[in-house]
Structure formats: C-alpha cells, structure tokens
Amino acid sequence: MDIRTIGVVGAGQMGNGIAHVMAQAGFDVLLNDINQDALARAVATIDKNMERQVTRGKTSPEDKAAAMARIRTTQAIADVGQTDLIIESATEREEIKNKIFESLTPHLAPHTILTSNTSSISITRLASRTDRPERFMGFHFMNPVPVMQLVELIRGIATDQPTYDACHAVVDRLGKTAASAEDYPAFIVNRILIPMINEAVYALYEGVGNVRSIDQAMKLGANHPMGPLELADFIGLDTCLAIMHVLHEGLADTKYRPCPLLTKYVEAGWLGRKTKRGFYDYRGEEPVPTR
C-alpha cells in the first residue's frame, strides 16, 4: 500500500513530534485535536524545532518551508478519517483511546490503517473495538520524536502482513529503525525502562540515596546519559505510573508494584517538567532536587 497522507490525533508533545517527522519525510499531515489552542501551540512548536534544525545545518530553509506547508490542522475528527494512515497519540488512558477510535469508525476510508502510539496498552484489545483489527497495530515513537531513532512496531493478534509491511515502510522513509515487539504489556522499551525508574523511586523512598546521588550514580556509574529520576520527570510521572499499573495488572507480578512515592507525586500534581515540579523543581534558573 502506498501511504501518502497521515492523520495524527492528539497535538501534544508526542503528536506534534510525529507530525514534524512525517512532514519532513514528505507525507501530507493532518493534525487533529479537540482544542484549537493545542493545535496552535503544536504548529508553533514544530516551527521552532525545525528552525533549530535549520540553525544547526540539519535541514535547509527551503525544506523547512516545504515541510511546514504539508501540515494542516483540524478540530473535526471526521476530517482525519480519509487519510491513508492514522496515528492516535492521545493521553495514555485506554478509555480515551477507545472513544477516539469509535468516533473515527464512521468516517474511515476502506483502506485506512489505524495505529496507536500507546507506550503500554494492549494493541489486540484496542483493535478489537474497531471495525478493522487486521489493519490495526502499535506505532510507538520515542520522545523526543525528531531526535530518537527507534520506533516500536507492535502487531495485535489480528494484524495482517500488508499492514505491518506498510508501517515498516513508513519507518524506513522516516530514516528511523523499527523494532518489532510482541503485544505484551509495555512492549520492549518500557517493559525494561519504566521498572528501572520505579526501582530508582524505591531507592529514594527507602532512603538509599537522595535525588541527586541516585541520578549521579546512574550517570557516572552506569554511563546513562540521564539519571532515572531526571528521565522520569522528562517522560512525565503520570505516564510512568500509568505504565507501571499496566505492567502490574497485566503481568500480575509484585515486582511491578508502583512505588508509593511515585503515586504520591502524581497525586500532588508534581508530574515533572510539564508541571514545573517533579523529582526536581524547574521553576528557577536551574533544576533543584525536591528530596
């Protein structure tokens, strides 16, 4: 299947990053969100990030202008239905994703492929709520999308080979690398990464170290580019907690029990960088540990 048009549902951090790379790769992109302000912010963010790429010599002003011209926005979910490939990139809550796919169903073209950028939720279960489980799969980008080279491709139990091949071809056209994952909770990257972060929060909770010492230990002792608590703030503590819940409920193993301190931070609304406070306080000139 020749994919030319991409629909992206959700104009948040992941959605605008996906729209960015798709437009640069030559696809016509229709970015959807229920909030017009979110769409305006997304386009401004894409423009700013592409301008940074121009400044660094990663792209030319002409290519940037052409890519920006390939991005359109809409608040009407029906408009997205006629695109060749739809990537849902809404909040990591299954009920919201199901509502999106249900609202799309009456407007879909017969050939349209549905995908979700979910970082942990069952692809088989999401697909079963649509009219085309054979043309549904997981299309999981890493954050920040324009920088990270990996895309996880996850087949549901019904996903057919042409759908997988078409999505793999899109990843190749983006210049990224596809990793095929089976449809188990959290797939590959988050199955390994998020429990490590949760364990770092337990180390903080139990007083093994403070925020700064835990992050320094992993950066200097394990050669990680970012400490686990700093990384959790970057991902979003609510997202980390949601993935731990998926792992705990889906695999029924106590080793995936979310740390109570992670739950407490989320309950406080301290979700990391996006709320200016998490394991670090970002309200000043330099991030300051909160514990």
- Residues 122, 152, 198, 230: which is the catalytic one? 152
Please calculate the CA angle 41-72-146 and round it to the nearest 5 degrees. 60
Is 5-181 assigned to CATH 3.40.50.720?
yes
State the pLDDT at residue 92.
87
- Residues 16, 116, 117, 140: which is the catalytic one? 140
Q: Mean pLDDT per 10-residue run, the chain (291 residues)?
A: 95 96 98 96 97 96 97 97 97 93 96 96 96 98 95 98 98 98 95 98 98 98 97 95 94 97 98 97 96 94
State the pLDDT at residue 150.
98
State the pLDDT at residue 1.
78
Provide the token pair at 8: 């992206």
Residue with tokens 């996850």: 154
Segments making up each domain of the chain, as ranges: 5-181, 190-282
Could you please state the CATH topology (level 3) that the domain comprising 190-282 is classified under. Answer: N-(1-d-carboxylethyl)-l-norvaline Dehydrogenase; domain 2 (1.10.1040)
| 120 catalytically annotated | no
| 190 catalytically annotated | yes
- Residues 116, 190, 230, 248: which is the catalytic one? 190
State the pLDDT at residue 184.
95
Asked whether 139 and 87 are in contact (CB, 8 A), the reply is yes
Question: Residue 284: enclosing H or E segment and its boundaries?
Answer: none
- Residues 16, 32, 119, 198: which is the catalytic one? 119
State the pLDDT at residue 129.
93
